[in-house]
Amino acid sequence: MNSSPVQTKRPQFKSGYLPTLDGWRAIAIAAVLLDHATTGFHQRASWYPLFRTGADGVSLFFAISGFLICSRLLEEEQLSGSVSLKGFYIRRACRILPAAFTYLLVVALLAMGAVVVVTPLEWWSCVLFFRNYLPPEWIRGGWGGYTIHYWSLAVEEHFYLLWPAMLAFSGRVRARYLAAVLAIVVAVWRWWDFHHQLVNRFLPGLLFGSRTDVRLDGLLLGCLAALVLVEPRWRAWLERRFSAGVLWTFAIAYVLSQVVPRKHTYSIWESIFLAAVVAGTVLHPAGVVGRVLENPAMKWVGRLSYSLYLWQELFLIPGASYPFSLLQRFPLNLGMVFVIAVLSYELVERPMIRLGHRLAPPPTPGRIDLGTPGACVPQTANTEVRKRELEGSA
């Protein structure tokens, strides 16, 4: 009798690359660019409110970031048995800070040359990541438009300081409950403070939707989705039941609840919808939506999304004026954003990401265009687990 070979289950993480996320980044940055590029155009037109999609794009970025960061931390915990906070922060610093500080350096040079107006407090609030808690009234002598987008970077940096340590010390089981409870606490606090305006008494004029304490659920629910999918039993159950029809239902529900009325409430339902849709396409990357998101053009824009987000404020925000204001006119302004973003990505982002991977090698290399040559999966303490990992990835 012929004996069939033992079937080994392939590991969930083989390269560290999560399909469809670059495509989602492309949609998120497109929503931001659409909003900023059309602000001020034909404000009385019936179509104008439909183009106010910037807040939706940032909310989608939060869902992607929470899902991706937690997935990579869980990947490291699966393959090496623990999470290296030192390695995480080295790679994050190399990923986020060089491009962010390059933009701020350029803005500072333009300000010193009297080309743009950026106040010292405004600039330092970006460097130290508290721009989202700087009321507009405190920016004296400036208007804040060149740095306003750093509010979302501040939210993400606060998340990076909070979540990795919580996951590392609590473990994945307790982390699921922790993410869910904290997301509910943030949602309740947001509702209460929206009606009572407690924070506004101390920081009058502060933009409500930019605060970390009212936006953190968007990232935490992305983390919760990753924590659910990492469990094989739950993942298999969701793969069977989270069909393309369910995915489209979630997407349409979100559009109807947010985009059409143009009332961005930052509700917990928005965060749930976005986390579910992002996780759903990672579950089924071969579906119609997944194939669209994995289109080379979408992936290219998604890879540029961080640089696009950083540099678009110099060219797309109406109200700014400087000697080369011609570059703010459509479509030249949009072209300039892409040109500068490509330069930023190639000259700053990619080299620094690779440096971070050399200083703190990740458990898997991630995207092919970013992986450090020779990077390898670290040895696990359990040799049998290591053997199965190698067999599954052969």
Model confidence, pTM: 0.85
Question: What is the rounded average pLDDT of the residues 352-369?
Answer: 83
Task: Report how far residue 351's alpha carbon sits from residue 356's, in angstroms, rounded to the nearest whole number.
Answer: 9
Location of structure tokens 């930052």 = 266
Mean pLDDT for 153-166 is 96
Residue 237 in any domain: the answer is yes
Residue 35 φ/ψ region, left for φ over 0, alpha for ψ in the -120 to 50 degree band, beta for the rest: alpha
Helix, strand, coil % (nearest 5) of the chain? 70, 0, 30
117 within a domain of the structure (yes/no): yes
In one-letter notation, the amino acid at residue 117 is V
Structural domain contains residue 175: yes
Give me the number of domains the chain comprises.
1
Q: What is the mean pLDDT of the chain?
A: 82
Q: Are the CB atoms for 123 and 107 separated by under 8 Å?
A: yes
pLDDT band at 259 (very low <50, low <70, confident <90, very high): low
Q: Where are the beta strands (DSSP E) in 8-129?
A: none
Within a domain: 164: yes
Tell me: pLDDT of 209 over 80: yes
The CA distance from 300 to 302, in Å, is 5
Residue 373 inside a domain? The answer is no
Cα(233)–Cα(379) distance, rounded to whole angstroms?
26
Mean pLDDT of 148-154: 95
For every residue of 244-274, DSSP letters joined together read: HHHHHHHHHHHIIIIITTT-----HHHHHHH
The alpha helices in 81-149, defined as continuous H runs, are 85-112, 120-127
The pLDDT of residue 390 is: 33
SS3 at position 368: coil
Residue range(s) defining the domain that contains residue 150: 21-39+49-367
At 383, the pLDDT band (50, 70, 90 cuts) reads very low
Residue 256: how many CB atoms within 10 A of its CB?
10
d(CA 186, CA 181): 9
Instruction: In whole angstroms, give the CA distance from residue 299 to residue 70.
Output: 21
**What secondary structure letter does DSSP report for 206?**
-
Distance of CA 275 to the CA centre of its chain: 11
Q: Does 374 fall in a domain?
A: no
How far is it, in rounded angstroms, from Cα 63 to Cα 40?
29
What is the per-residue pLDDT for 127?
A: 97
**Consecutive H or E run containing 164:** helix 150-196
Residue 1 confidence (pLDDT) above 50: no
Task: Tally helices (H) and strands (E) across the chain.
Answer: 15, 0
Whether residue 384 lies inside any domain: the answer is no
Residue 177 lies inside a defined structural domain of this protein: yes
> Closest Cα to residue 167, out of 274, 282, 64, 76?
76
Res 385: pLDDT? 37
Count CB atoms within 10 A of the CB of residue 207.
14
User: Sign of dihedral through CA atoms 171, 176, 181, 183?
Assistant: positive
Model pLDDT, residue 265 = 67
Nearest residue to 108 via CA among 120, 96, 125, 93: 120
